[in-house]
Structure 1
Amino acid sequence: MTHLTADRLHPSELDEPVSASRQTSATSWETGGRFGAALRELLDDTSAFERHQQANLRPEVVEALAERIRATGVKYIYYMIPTLGSRTVAKVVPAEHYERMLRKGIAFHRTALTDLQTSREGELIGGGVSAHEFWALPEPETFQALPWDGEVGRIFCTAYDPPHLGPSGGRLIPLDTRALFAAAHRGFTERTGLELRSGLEPEMTWTGPGLEVVSKEDQSPAYQVENLEKMRPVYKKIISYAQALGFTMIQGDYEDVGQIELNWEYDRAELTAERMTTYRQICKQVARELGLQASFMAKPYNGKMGNGCHHNLSLWRAGADGEENVVEDGRVELHATETARRSIAGMLLHTPGSMLVMGSTVNSYKRYWDAGQFAPSGADWGLDTRGVAIRISANGRMEYRLPDASVNPYLSHLYLLAAIEHGIEAGLEPGEPGAPSALLQDVVVPNTLGSAIDAFEADSYLMGAMPEELTRIFLQLKRDEWARYCGQITQWEFDQYWEAIP
């Protein structure tokens, strides 16, 4: 795949004020700035499928995949692609057909990318039953054998409109958020000289025999080794499987009743997002093996910690003397560099417009209503304080605390990347910790899925930066979810009103 070769910000310009001559016009911001222009050009490329296919069929690529299949003993392969709703769809193919798959790929109905979700009105969202198929070409470098069954492997794929569709054929499908983010990141690096790296903190809740916890009233069970011991069968299997799949696992802890968080080393953002997709598969497999239930639901219980997924972000520049983290400048005290400040301002300014991505379910917003549970609720930033949206907890990284564990990690990184580029390119200022700039003083974070839908549509920069098909279908999915929720009569309503109204 290719991306737009746009005017590049010289690295030295990133730490200088943005002059009026370099400011992008208001009209440009409304169309998503250079970020949006680059994605539009990318998605107009009708040769993308053919070039991917040709790359797959290079003799050295075919032979390398064949050798890895032989060496691992894999007999079956999942050809997989993440969906808009952060699930994964796949077809299983006997391993000996690898060369055919490199050439032809796998055909899926287009609505597989929207989780085959039917609206309340009976419409299959994403094109209906008459929608054409898409073709998913494998990325052979992603082949791995699954550690829980060495005869089964997996390969990630990229989704294209089939070339036989004529003028619209051969293009990358914007609903393939994995491929879209990777392409957007390449363009971002080309324009700014910077690479986004991230590390995630996925929390999740486990239930089942042997995991019960007893603690004193109003006392948290967090960090207690006895509770961590109860999770020993779980974390041993998860860590073992993750290591076999290339993760560098670094630490983990017990955070609330049945809730654990296991972390792996940060990396280039698309690799981190891919590992989050894999981590979910690992956890579900471990739950099956141990007879437990494992959930990434954002807020399973009132009075208990929600399942967040903090994104720890840094920006790196490669140079003749090696790599440099531009969120760090050597100072000992906690701080944010000018590039970090501009990035923070962009992320905070677009927090309302991106909340539909960061908190993508009705349940996501219950995290922010449960007081005292460390979930942020404002568009603010600070130094090592847990009540803000962005925390500088250590020099060199920006911890964005709003996403929850049900997030689509490709989509969250995509929206953060767009916001960061806006902040850098426009020279936005966030103010000081606890004292937001005039730009951010009136920013209000949505606290329901319904208000997040409104804020999503109201952010002209993000709406212009993202592909129209992506935003249109994502909105359709989320409006349908919100309508279903608003139409449900809950037990709480029954308890409140059945006898209360004379």
Structure 2
Amino acid sequence: MTGMLTKSEALTNLEACVQAEGRADLVAQVRAKIDELGIKYIYYQFISVTGRIVGKGVPADHWETIAERGIQLVYGSTANLFLDRYNNYIGYGPEASELVAIPDPDTFCQLPWDKRVARVFCTCFRNREEPENPGGYLTSDCRGNLKRIHAQFQEDHHGLHLRHGTEPEMMWLKKGPDGKPNGGVTKPNCYQIDQFEELRPVFLRVIDYCQAMGLDMIQGDHEDAPGQLELNFMYDDALRTCDRLTTYRQICSQVAREFNLIACFMSKPFMGVSANGCHHNLSLWYGGDEQVKDFGMETLPGLAGTFSYRKGGENTFLPDPSLSATKPGPIGLNAIGGVIEHLGALTAIGCSTVNSYRRLWDTGLWAPVYADWGFQNRTCGLRVSAPGRFEYRAVDSMVNPYLMAAALLKAFDDGIQRNLDPGEPESRNLYEAMEAGKQVKKLPMSLGEALERLEQDDVVKASMPGDMYQVFNWYKRDEWEKFLATSTQWDVDMYLDCLP
């Protein structure tokens, strides 16, 4: 047939992205926004293995060139260009090539704290001159992986897709004279409006910035740790929820600079009080329509994609009245079964730091440590928090949300494909149920153990294709080994005077 590409002429992944149908129109829309808003500078950003925002800044005059050619950074930027304990660069050495990051125009948005500047998320590709797979997807790009894994999940399950929301707890800390943390801004008094009020100037500015960048803020409260707030935004399609959580962290960091505070997302900075969790509320849907949330603004300070939410459709996690008035429907039950089956490996991603396990060991503070599920039962690793969704609890504030969403999709897929039954929901306090003889698997209780569970789980590892698992495992095993090889103040206090 004439007009068809031969194998040698086939488009690379990078070329297919740049030439995708409708992209040229989006690139033109961004130029119109640049001119309308007076944008002078653009951050081209993607996400590293630890969830950190990395990238480059370029004057806005070069938008069309960057939209076609991309920015280049070393492959090792996907691992924070970080050295392991043997002084080797994690993932990629200095001899490795440079990735090409191509902007996703529909994520373009003005920064509300300096309206001369905008940001756009990118998808990463292998260099065009690589001898093998030139211009292919860079598999250590966790955001790009999520896009492709979610698209495959939808294809395999007739359009079924993940919508989720997160509960990002974090702490607002004071700075001491040395610039280091000096306790929380407020007292650890849960739900008290007086403590919430003390942080009002801070959280109102966060909310203003969030709305200006497309986050539909829905509720917030003061939690039970020093300076700890939870400000929630509306759930949505998986990729946009991950982008919004990343944006939320960026906003909190900026507001902290403005108030001379520290925005702390560390999981467990204080013992004896609650940690910073980041529960994920999950559901699988068919259909739905895109709706733009304009927050009453006459002109959106970015493209419509940043301000869009998927609404309506069929929520498959709602109870099937013909089967049960309370249990999730069959797809929801299978999804729960898949998560419970793989909870050990998932913990390496949801609780991804050495410090994460301080949260699980600090007993009596509601952290989930057992692989079970129930209705409104916070002693379980999963709970049906409301009809139509369940809450995955073994995840904290340091999570890379793109890795987490991709891993959960693989667990869901396995649960659906194998028709996994999670068993009956547990209504008792799980600790009392185990005393009565119930057998329940325990989560890994250290980063090292969690990494072992991940290594043995091919389903969850499939959420980290190509180089992604190698980079993640290398980075996190190095973190664990550095911890094991370090003497701390605890060692000194415990052992200095133990003999003679």
* Cα gap change, 1:465 to 1:76, in 2 (>3 Å): closer
Instruction: Return the match for 1:117 from 82, 90, 95.
Output: 82
Percent identity among equivalent residues? 41
1:472 aligns with 2:457: no
On the 8 A contact 1:211/1:231 being kept in 2, the answer is no
Q: Where does residue 167 of structure 2 map in the other structure? A: 201
The structural deviation recorded for 1:58 is 5.6
* Cα gap change, 1:339 to 1:330, in 2 (>3 Å): closer
Q: Where does residue 62 of structure 2 map in the other structure? A: 97
Q: What is the SS of the residue equivalent to 2:481?
A: helix
Between stretches 340-349 and 310-319, larger displacement belongs to 310-319
Q: Where does residue 200 of structure 2 map in the other structure? A: 232
Superposition pairs for residues 3-82 of structure 1, below 5 Å? 47-55=12-20, 59-82=24-47
Q: Deviations over 1:11-59 (max 9, x none)?
A: xxxxxxxxxxxxxxxxxxxxxxxxxxxxxxxxxx972101112239965
Between stretches 80-89 and 324-333, larger displacement belongs to 324-333
* Cα gap change, 1:212 to 1:242, in 2 (>3 Å): closer
Name the CA distance, whole Å, in 1 between partners of 2:372 and 2:78: 34
* Cα gap change, 1:345 to 1:366, in 2 (>3 Å): same
Q: Where does residue 354 of structure 2 map in the other structure? A: 362
Between stretches 368-377 and 164-173, larger displacement belongs to 164-173
AA aligned to 1:273 is C
AA aligned to 1:156 is F
Q: What is the SS of the residue equivalent to 2:267?
A: coil
AA aligned to 1:382 is G
- Where is the helix percentage greater, Structure 1 or Structure 2? 1
On the 8 A contact 1:355/1:446 being kept in 2, the answer is yes
Name the CA distance, whole Å, in 2 between partners of 1:344 and 1:401: 12
Name the CA distance, whole Å, in 2 between partners of 1:412 and 1:465: 9
Name the CA distance, whole Å, in 1 between partners of 2:459 and 2:104: 32
Instruction: Return the match for 2:319 from 314, 326, 329.
Output: 329
On the 8 A contact 1:299/1:363 being kept in 2, the answer is yes
Q: Deviations over 1:129-167 (max 9, x none)?
A: 111100111111111100000000011111101222133
1:107 aligns with 2:72: yes
Instruction: Return the match for 1:250 from 204, 218, 225.
Output: 218
Name the CA distance, whole Å, in 2 between partners of 1:68 and 1:476: 41
Name the CA distance, whole Å, in 2 between partners of 1:221 and 1:419: 37
TM-score (norm 2): 0.86
* Cα gap change, 1:58 to 1:459, in 2 (>3 Å): closer
Matched residue pairs, number? 450
Q: Where does residue 231 of structure 2 map in the other structure? A: 262
1:344 aligns with 2:336: yes
The structural deviation recorded for 1:334 is 3.8
* RMSD of equivalent CA atoms: 2.2
Q: What is the SS of the residue equivalent to 2:73?
A: strand
* Cα gap change, 1:368 to 1:132, in 2 (>3 Å): same
1:296 aligns with 2:262: no
Name the CA distance, whole Å, in 2 between partners of 1:450 and 1:378: 18
Name the CA distance, whole Å, in 2 between partners of 1:414 and 1:95: 33
Greater than 6 Å deviation, 4+ residue runs: none
The structural deviation recorded for 1:381 is 0.6
1:129 aligns with 2:119: no
Q: Where does residue 413 of structure 1 map in the other structure? A: 405
Q: Where does residue 371 of structure 2 map in the other structure? A: 379
Instruction: Return the match for 2:130 from 165, 183, 198.
Output: 165
1:272 aligns with 2:241: yes
The structural deviation recorded for 1:263 is 0.2
On the 8 A contact 2:319/2:326 being kept in 1, the answer is no
On the 8 A contact 1:328/1:396 being kept in 2, the answer is yes
The structural deviation recorded for 1:348 is 1.0
The structural deviation recorded for 1:465 is 5.3
On the 8 A contact 2:370/2:440 being kept in 1, the answer is no
Q: Where does residue 118 of structure 2 map in the other structure? A: 153
Unaligned runs of 5+ in 1: 1-44, 215-219
AA aligned to 1:179 is G
On the 8 A contact 1:211/1:230 being kept in 2, the answer is no
Q: What is the SS of the residue equivalent to 2:92?
A: coil
* Cα gap change, 1:425 to 1:433, in 2 (>3 Å): same
Q: Where does residue 318 of structure 1 map in the other structure? A: 287
Q: What is the SS of the residue equivalent to 2:313?
A: strand
AA aligned to 1:470 is M
* Cα gap change, 1:58 to 1:273, in 2 (>3 Å): closer
Q: What is the SS of the residue equivalent to 1:405?
A: coil
The structural deviation recorded for 1:490 is 1.2
Q: Where does residue 3 of structure 2 map in the other structure? A: none
Name the CA distance, whole Å, in 2 between partners of 1:243 and 1:303: 34
Q: What is the SS of the residue equivalent to 1:178?
A: helix
* Cα gap change, 1:211 to 1:493, in 2 (>3 Å): closer
Name the CA distance, whole Å, in 1 between partners of 2:184 and 2:334: 44
Q: Deviations over 1:89-119 (max 9, x none)?
A: 1211110100110111000011000011101
Name the CA distance, whole Å, in 1 between partners of 2:283 and 2:463: 22
Q: Where does residue 480 of structure 2 map in the other structure? A: 482
Name the CA distance, whole Å, in 2 between partners of 1:173 and 1:325: 33
The structural deviation recorded for 1:64 is 1.3
Name the CA distance, whole Å, in 1 between partners of 2:169 and 2:357: 16
Structure with bigger RCO (C-alpha 8 Å, 6+ apart):
1
Q: What is the SS of the residue equivalent to 1:431?
A: coil
The structural deviation recorded for 1:353 is 1.1
Instruction: Return the match for 2:450 from 442, 449, 452.
Output: 452
Name the CA distance, whole Å, in 1 between partners of 2:132 and 2:483: 40
AA aligned to 2:241 is T
On the 8 A contact 2:172/2:185 being kept in 1, the answer is no
AA aligned to 2:56 is K
AA aligned to 1:375 is A
On the 8 A contact 2:317/2:388 being kept in 1, the answer is yes
Unaligned runs of 5+ in 2: 1-9, 176-182, 290-311, 431-437
AA aligned to 1:118 is L
On the 8 A contact 2:403/2:463 being kept in 1, the answer is no
The structural deviation recorded for 1:476 is 0.7
Name the CA distance, whole Å, in 2 between partners of 1:57 and 1:100: 17
On the 8 A contact 1:56/1:103 being kept in 2, the answer is no
Q: What is the SS of the residue equivalent to 1:118?
A: coil
On the 8 A contact 1:334/1:394 being kept in 2, the answer is no
